[in-house]
Chains A and B, each alone.
Chain A
Amino acid sequence: NAGVTQTPKFRVLKTGQSMTLLCAQDMNHEYMYWYRQDPGMGLRLIHYSVGEGTTAKGEVPDGYNVSRLKKQNFLLGLESAAPSQTSVYFCASSRPPGSYNEQFFGPGTRLTVL
């Protein structure tokens, strides 16, 4: 099993450009999450999904959109990138209530917005 994978691993964007980050998991997990990690801020939840076709806002959703058309995939979109969105983005999945929502993380995507 590959676990949780993220595409791409690195990306540089110019202000105003758009892009989509892809997260895929092969563990048949219901729940999926997108976090951003910034120095001194820890992991902050952007959006999450509790099942195929569902999405919900997290702590810092502004400037991002998500979709969960298939259970195994969770897409994070930036419609008009801003320098404040320079960060490392982590996707995670879980299968509550089993393992009490233990999160399985992808390897991260490092995004720089110039």
Chain B
Amino acid sequence: ILNVEQSPQSLHVQEGDSTNFTCSFPSSNFYALHWYRWETAKSPEALFVMTLNGDEKKKGRISATLNTKEGYSYLYIKGSQPEDSATYLCAFSGGYQKVTFGIGTKLQVIP
């Protein structure tokens, strides 16, 4: 079983604060790293797919970086808003048959 770890497990920030969290994954047999956003009572939706060492992706106020050599990815949220409250999952794929999900980082943005 592959080890995909996310930290912190939960996070409370004030509206307007910027924040970041970490996903660590095996540094061998890398195929792709995905970030998903998972709102309460909904299903996970893809934010980013990252495939190359040094990749940086951005969508609005959310961005992500990837280091495949050391096995970590960071997700950044600039100027957090209450609607950013969700669980952010990372998923490591060592091939294209299946992915291994982390437990997620639960973010709550306090107005």
- Chain A: residues with CB nearer than 8 A to chain B? 31, 33, 35, 40-45, 48, 50, 56, 58-59, 90, 96-97, 99-108
If the complex has contacts A40-B103, A42-B89, are A101 and B43 also in contact, measured as CB distance less than 8 A? no
**A-B residue pairs in contact (CB < 8 Å), sample of 26:** A31-B97, A42-B101, A42-B103, A43-B89, A44-B101, A45-B100, A48-B98, A56-B97, A96-B97, A97-B96, A100-B31, A100-B34, A100-B49, A100-B51, A100-B96, A101-B34, A101-B93, A101-B97, A102-B34, A102-B46, A103-B36, A103-B46, A103-B99, A105-B43, A105-B45, A108-B43
- For the residues of B in contact with A, the DSSP-based class is loop
A45 and B32 contacting across the interface, CB-CB below 8 Å? no
Q: Is B42 an interface residue (CB 8 A)?
A: yes
B interface, CB within 8 angstroms of A: 1, 31-32, 34, 36, 42-46, 49, 51, 89, 91, 93, 96-104
Judge whether B34 and A48 touch: CB under 8 Å. no
Q: What separation, in Å, do the CA atoms of A102 and B50 have in the docked complex?
A: 10
- In the complex, are the beta carbons of B43 and A90 less than 8 A apart? yes
Contacts of B43 in A (CB 8 A): 90, 105-108
Residues of A within 8 A of B89 (CB): 42-43
- Cα separation A42 to B46 with both chains bound (whole Å): 16
State the Cβ distance, A26 to closest chain B Cβ, in Å.
16
Minimum CB–CB distance from B59 to chain A (whole Å) comes to: 14
Max count, chain B CB within 10 A of own CB: residue among A33, A40, A56, A102: A102
Q: Which of B31, B44, B101 sits near A101, CB closer than 8 Å? A: B31
In the A-B complex, list the 9 residue pairs whose CB atoms are closest, starting with the nearest.
A96-B96, A100-B32, A105-B43, A42-B103, A43-B101, A101-B96, A100-B49, A102-B46, A101-B93
Q: Output the least CB separation between B40 and chain A (Å).
A: 11
Contact assessment for A103 and B91 in the assembled complex, using a CB-CB cutoff below 8 Å: yes
